[in-house]
Amino acid sequence: QVQLVESGGGLVQAGDSLRLSCAASGRTFSTYHIGWFRQAPGKEREFVATITSSGGSTFYADSVQGRFTISRDNAKNTAYLQMNSLKPEDTAVYYCAADTMSMGPAAGYWGQGTQVTVSS
């Protein structure tokens, strides 16, 4: 069992940066893989990035590769998504997800989401 709360979203201009945080209940955070997903109005939920439980491996969607960085600090029970060079097409609600096994749309736990809006 883990609870996730995202924060850090906001309204920015193209080219700006944001860092999203995913604060988790501390009990077993280090055993969960963490993923970031996003969903824009009228579109399917989209994979953004994932990081393994130990932080040893990361994977990114092609659309954010080179601009976004996922990280975690298990001692702080927090995962992050550093978003640089933001584009209007990055506008979406961003969700943090956690699962002990696979990471995808069927991940076991989700946060409430945080809105990121990028103006042109």
**Residues 117, 13 contacting (CB under 8 angstroms):** no
Indicate the burial class of 6 (C-beta count within 10 angstroms; 0-12, 13-18, 19 or more). buried
The pLDDT confidence band at residue 42, using thresholds 50, 70 and 90, is very high
**Residues with Cβ within 8 Å of residue 56, at least 6 apart in sequence:** none
Instruction: Quote the tokens at residue 98.
Output: 């956690």
The neighbour count for residue 32, using CB atoms within 10 Å, is 25
The mean pLDDT of 22-40, rounded to a whole number, is 92
Q: Which residue has the tokens 């933001």?
A: 86
Residue 26 has pLDDT above 70, yes or no: no
